[in-house]
Amino acid sequence: MLRKVRTILACIFFLLITLLFLDFTGTMHLWFGWLAKIQLMPAILSAATAAVAFIVILTLLFGRVYCSVICPLGVLQDGVSCVAGKRKKNRFRHSPAKSWLRYGVLGLFVAAAILGGSAVVSLLDPYAAYGRMASNFFAPLYRGGNNLLDWLAERVSSYAFYPTEVWIKGWITFGVAAATLAAVGILAWRNGRTYCNTICPVGTVLGFFSRFSIFSLTIDAEKCTKCGLCERSCKASCIDSKNHTLDKSRCVTCFTCVEKCRFGAMKYAPVSIGKKKNIKPEPAGKENSAGSGVSRRGFMSIAGVLALTQTIKAQQLKVDGGFADILDKKAPERKTPIAPPGAVSLRNMNKRCTGCQLCVSACPSGVLRPSGKLATLMQPEMSYEKGYCRPECTECSQVCPTGAILKIVPADKSAISIGKAVWMEDTCLVNRDKIQCKSCTDNCLTGAITLVAINPEDKKSLKLPAIDKERCIGCGACENLCPARPFSAIYVEGNVVHHSI
Amino acid sequence: MKKKSKVAINRRDFFKVAAAGTVTAGALVYQGCKPRSSASAEGGGAVGEVPADGMTYRTNPHTGDVVSLLGYGCMRWPLRKKADGSGEEVDQEIVNTLVDYAIEHGVNYFDTAPVYIRGWSETATGIALKRHPRDKFFIATKMSNSSDFSRQTAINMYNNSFKALQVDYIDYYLLHSVGGGDGVATFLQRYIENGVLDFLIAERKAGRIRNLGWSFHGDVKVFDYVLAMDIQWDFCQIQLNYQDWQNATGRNVDAEYLYGELVKRNVPAVIMEPLLGGRLARVPVQAFSMMKEVHPQDTPAQWAFRYAGTPENVLTVLSGMVYMEYLQEDIRTYAPLVPLNEQEYKTLEEVTKVLIDSDYIQCTECQYCMPCPYGIDIPGTFGHYNRCVSAGKILKSANDNGYREARRAFLVGYDRSVPKLRQADHCIGCDICRSRCPQRINVPSEMRRINLYAENLKQKSVF
């Protein structure tokens, strides 16, 4: 019974959190955004005291329920382990706790968090790890399915669906997600919750609290026949049936043992005071953390510097119809990355973001993508090749659970300067093709770009764009819509600290 | 970027619905602004018989040619993806089917040009016609020397038409789109200073051109100038429909004047844009009801064709029939033609008022502006907007009834019919297209207008 309730709850939580990463319409987070906010790391990073307190109290009361219900990575491992268990039943064995590893990883994690090694924090945070999997593997499938439905809807003149773009936003992050999935998946397939009890810093912290939990699983020595079934079904490997002991710090309260025991010897009940607790710290085993080679993103192709931007000219012999080819845009090398409005500063982003990819998944304009730089690995940064930061959209600030992007409303947004447009004299079409292009001026949302005559004496003189930096908010409309390709002739450099205009 | 194979004028969305006979004006609004893009050679919306021997013919007073009142415009042949996926090509099988059907049902005038459909029209038309006896059809093609005025280019273009069409004489040869560019000066550059017109007159004498004429768009001074030249023009091609009769838009000239001048000089008129690129087949609900009240069975397209065919000096009316059902319907309209009566003319005057008050962009999707060097799909963008106008789905303000549905239909339909990179927001305002547009649309300004509308909807701003 307890196990069924736990399983059902876990499935619901898992599904809804996954949906947060899949949804691109911006409706899901209105209802279920809180699910990301009660994840431990986001709660700590956003200094959400109530959420942290809730998790600690929950653990002190009921043990590591968090790990088996709320944590999506935990539930994912249970899923994998369950499938493996269908092939080989009762395959687990008690193993001693690997405390040195657990506390070692935790120490590293805390040190990284304090010293600013955000990549380590991102890698180890279980919620972020799951977020990367959901946004890199599940979201593209989901969107592909949506596009299929849109295609069908179009056949019957329905506007129920609309098409969306499917693309992998950062290959390094994709690789990290794949490596994490492989490592966690193999561990779960073979040994159940090994990852949670040896590496996961959240598991270690909650394990510490769960030692003192009021409700916990205990073995009734009177009823126990030492058949060992509980031990062999325990995916946390925390039951030593021979000695009638159970390591509360590693137990994730999955209730499998309760269901398995044929003699009613497993009990989930408040601990009676004075009963001895069994903790056996023993150094043993060697597990590798899920990591992957992190390479610095290569410089923009050297060719990029040489190859001037170009658009396709109309054919020499003009015939009617057809389309000019459009080259894909390439990202310029920005000296300062651009953080989304609400992030306040690059420092705030770097300190708080765990790289869960929720904002990246939510961005409807294809602007956010995970960074490939070591210092900000997997944290979101902006680039305007596929779209620009639209004035009506505040999706990323709505979904961010860690406070890396604070909540803003569209009215604030038009006054927050996240960057500055920079104009490239040589590649601007007006100079290059001698044609009066008005793209950046027409599309600037704040009127920061004006056209100024090259030769003020001549009334027919071509005009060049001039940027009023005081009015530029760095939204990237000019960069995205600039006809110079593959490199735009106007691009945005980020502001280290955002400010209002 | 992929292009939708949507060459179609989607003009008879209403027709199919009306054929069901149960539709109310209110329900039509929910047609949405979706383009119809399925090409087929099979008849779909046909109602009743398509007579094979009822076609109305007109006689050319100069050569005695007996020409079918329905002429086939070959500017809009259906396209398909190439088998190897490397782009598009004309769907020759469908073209053959359509041409065969047209000839069987009495159509004998086929109008093409070297520049139509990216330069593919002449060849495709030639292949289809080659399968019929040469005396069964008249072929019309043009001197489309609008980008390069040299004599040699013009003569090459002329010679190439014979090869592409696989013929040794051309029945109707036109100076293409006279009146464009910089007025009379451009006309002189294109045809007089380089001796091209003299060359063509000599060719007519030699019998390789049977009728020499010109098509007109634009500056009325050029029309008067060319008509007054000391040359016997065998025909002249003009834009004529009930909206343009007295309310021509842009720099177009009222058809009433053009037609009147042609009658005075005994020059037969070939009619183009009888439907304004489909817009007269897809009229707003209010106009639709007016026509249905008079003739419940007739479609707006039938009204427009009867209008264009009624004047006696009209030799033939060109229709770019992409789909079999359009062809069948147009044949029925002209087999035989029932001329409009006084009361029907009055109805169309009322309809015209509705059309003029509508927010249409005067685009006939002729593709002359394409390709835009910056990749914009100009006719696609205008077409989407106009379809939304026809469906009554353009909002006047953010407080209108049905705001949510209209917003969604416009925005989702926009992304479906035009790839994002080819939409109005990417227009740079360079003006290159403006001189190419026979309707004289201020393309960049209309693009900005559409973009502003789309932005209002996207940002949900109050307007």
> pLDDT tens track of chain B, all 463 residues?
444 444 444 444 444 433 443 333 333 333 445 444 333 444 444 456 888 889 999 999 999 999 999 999 999 999 999 988 888 999 999 999 999 999 999 999 999 999 999 999 999 999 999 999 999 999 999 999 988 899 999 999 999 999 999 999 999 999 999 998 888 999 999 999 999 999 999 999 999 999 999 999 988 999 999 999 999 999 999 999 999 999 888 778 999 999 999 999 999 999 999 999 888 998 888 899 999 999 998 999 999 999 999 999 999 999 999 999 999 999 999 999 999 999 999 999 999 999 988 889 989 888 989 999 999 999 999 999 999 998 888 998 888 988 999 999 999 999 999 999 999 999 999 999 988 888 889 999 999 999 999 999 999 988 8
Task: Answer for the pair A477, A443: CB distance below 8 angstroms, yes or no.
Answer: yes
- Maximum CA extent, chain B: 67
Architecture of domain A301-500: 2-Layer Sandwich (3.30)
The torsion of the CA quartet A201, A207, A212, A216, rounded to 10 degrees, works out to 150
Q: How far apart are CA A253 and CA A3, in angstroms?
A: 9
Query: A392: which chain B residues are within 8 Å (Cβ-Cβ)?
Result: 458-460
Min Cα–Cα distance to chain B from A150, Å = 9
Number of Cβ atoms within 10 Å of the Cβ of B335: 21
CB spacing of A323 vs B412 below 8 angstroms: no
Q: How far apart are CA A13 and CA A19, in angstroms?
A: 10
pLDDT confidence band for A290 (50 / 70 / 90): very low
CA A451: distance to chain centroid?
41
Q: Does B460 touch chain A (CB under 8 A)?
A: yes
Q: Does B458 touch chain A (CB under 8 A)?
A: yes
Query: A312: which chain B residues are within 8 Å (Cβ-Cβ)?
Result: 373, 375
Backbone angles phi, psi at A147, to 5 degrees: -65, -35
CB spacing of B374 vs A438 below 8 angstroms: no
User: How high does pLDDT run on average in chain A?
Assistant: 87
Tokens 């720099």 locate to B251
CB spacing of A437 vs B429 below 8 angstroms: yes
pLDDT of residue A272: 65
How far CA B22 is from CA of B19, B293, B296, in Å, comes to: 8, 14, 11
CB spacing of B425 vs A481 below 8 angstroms: yes
Number of Cβ atoms within 10 Å of the Cβ of A414: 15
CA B341: distance to chain centroid?
25
Q: How far apart are CA A47 and CA B102, in angstroms?
A: 77
Min Cα–Cα distance to chain B from A412, Å = 14
Q: Does B87 touch chain A (CB under 8 A)?
A: no
Q: What is the mean pLDDT of residues A184-192?
A: 92
Q: What percent of chain A has pLDDT over 90?
A: 65
Residue among B116, B375, B427 whose CB faces A323 most closely: B375
State both tokens at A454: 């090259």
Number of Cβ atoms within 10 Å of the Cβ of B256: 14
State both tokens at B412: 């989702």
Q: How far apart are CA A162 and CA B412, in angstroms?
A: 6
Min Cα–Cα distance to chain A from B425, Å = 7
pLDDT of residue B29: 37
pLDDT of residue A295: 33
Residue among B119, B371, B412 whose CB faces A162 most closely: B412
CB spacing of A320 vs B415 below 8 angstroms: no
CA B309: distance to chain centroid?
15
Task: Answer for the pair A367, A476: CB distance below 8 angstroms, yes or no.
Answer: yes
Residues whose CB falls within 8 Å of the CB of residue B302, separated by 6 or more in sequence, listed in order: B295, B329, B332, B333
Query: A436: which chain B residues are within 8 Å (Cβ-Cβ)?
Result: 429-431
Q: How far apart are CA A398 and CA A407, in angstroms?
A: 6
**pLDDT at A86 exceeding the cut of 90:** no
Tokens 């596929």 locate to A386
CB spacing of B118 vs A321 below 8 angstroms: yes
Query: A437: which chain B residues are within 8 Å (Cβ-Cβ)?
Result: 428-430
Residue among A317, A325, A438 whose CB faces B428 most closely: A438
Domains of chain B (ranges, CATH numbers): 54-357 (3.20.20.100), 378-458 (no CATH)
Min Cα–Cα distance to chain A from B353, Å = 30
Query: B17: which chain A residues are within 8 Å (Cβ-Cβ)?
Result: none
Task: Answer for the pair A279, A211: CB distance below 8 angstroms, yes or no.
Answer: yes
Task: Answer for the pair B325, B46: CB distance below 8 angstroms, yes or no.
Answer: yes
Query: A154: which chain B residues are within 8 Å (Cβ-Cβ)?
Result: 34, 416
The partner residues of B269 in beta bridges, in order of sequence, read: B236, B314
pLDDT of residue A156: 87
Q: How far apart are CA B158 and CA B177, in angstroms?
A: 16
**pLDDT at A273 exceeding the cut of 80:** no
CB spacing of B377 vs A317 below 8 angstroms: no
pLDDT in tens, A352-411: 999 999 999 999 999 999 998 888 899 999 999 999 999 999 999 999 999 999 999 998
Q: Is A446 exposed, middle or buried (0-12, 13-18, 19+ CB in 10 A)?
A: middle
CB spacing of B429 vs A317 below 8 angstroms: no
State both tokens at B395: 């909002």
Residues whose CB falls within 8 Å of the CB of residue A49, separated by 6 or more in sequence, listed in order: none
Chain A, nearest residue to B149 by Cα: A317
Among B192, B169, B251, B262, CA closest to B217: B251
**pLDDT at A447 exceeding the cut of 70:** yes
Encode chain B in three state secondary structure: CCCCCCCCCCCCHHHHHHHHCCCCHHHHHHHCCCCCCCCCCCCCCCCCCCCCCCCCEEECCCCCCEEECEEEECCCCCEEECCCCCCEEECHHHHHHHHHHHHHCCCCEEECCCCHHHHCHHHHHHHHHHCCCHHHCEEEEEECCCCCCCHHHHHHHHHHHHHHHCCCCEEEEEEEEECCCCCHHHHHHHHHCCCHHHHHHHHHHCCCEEEEEEEECCCHHHHHHHHCCCCCCCEEEEECCCCHHHHCCCCCCCHHHHHHHHHHCCCCEEEECCCCCCHHHCCCHHHHHHHHHHCCCCCHHHHHHHHHHCCCCEEEEEECCCCHHHHHHHHHHECCECCCCHHHHHHHHHHHHHHHHCCCCCCCCCCCCCCCCCCCCHHHHHHHHHHHHHCCCCCCCCCCCCHHHHHHHHHHHHHHHCCHHHCHHHCCCCCCCHHHCCCCCCHHHHHHHHHHHHHHHHCCCCC
Task: Answer for the pair A385, A331: CB distance below 8 angstroms, yes or no.
Answer: yes
Among A281, A462, B425, A51, CA closest to A451: A462
CB spacing of A324 vs B117 below 8 angstroms: no
pLDDT confidence band for A202 (50 / 70 / 90): very high
**pLDDT at A228 exceeding the cut of 50:** yes
**pLDDT at A206 exceeding the cut of 60:** yes
Residues 125-164 of B with CB under 8 A from A: 146-148
Q: Does B82 touch chain A (CB under 8 A)?
A: no
Buried b / exposed e along B46-78 (16+ C-beta atoms within 10 A) = ebeebeeeebbbbebebbebebbbbbbbbbbbb
State both tokens at A113: 């968090």
Buried b / exposed e along B144-158 (16+ C-beta atoms within 10 A) = bbbeebeeeebbebb
CB spacing of A312 vs B375 below 8 angstroms: yes
Residues on chain A bordering chain B, Cβ-to-Cβ distance under 8 angstroms: 154, 157, 159, 162-163, 311-315, 317-326, 390-392, 429, 435-439, 442-443, 481, 483
- Maximum CA extent, chain A: 103
What's the whole-model pTM score? Answer: 0.76
Give the ipTM.
0.77
Query: A429: which chain B residues are within 8 Å (Cβ-Cβ)?
Result: 428
Rg (CA), chain B: 21
Q: How far apart are CA A70 and CA A64, in angstroms?
A: 10
Backbone angles phi, psi at B455, to 5 degrees: -65, -40
Query: B3: which chain A residues are within 8 Å (Cβ-Cβ)?
Result: 323
Residues 19-38 of B with CB under 8 A from A: 31-32, 34
Q: Which residue has the higher pLDDT, A15 or A86?
A: A15
Q: What percent of chain A has pLDDT over 70?
A: 91
Query: A325: which chain B residues are within 8 Å (Cβ-Cβ)?
Result: 1, 375
Query: A481: which chain B residues are within 8 Å (Cβ-Cβ)?
Result: 425-426
Min Cα–Cα distance to chain B from A208, Å = 50
Task: Answer for the pair A384, A156: CB distance below 8 angstroms, yes or no.
Answer: no
pLDDT in tens, A297-320: 333 333 333 333 333 333 456 788
Domain borders along chain A are 2-102+192-270, 301-500
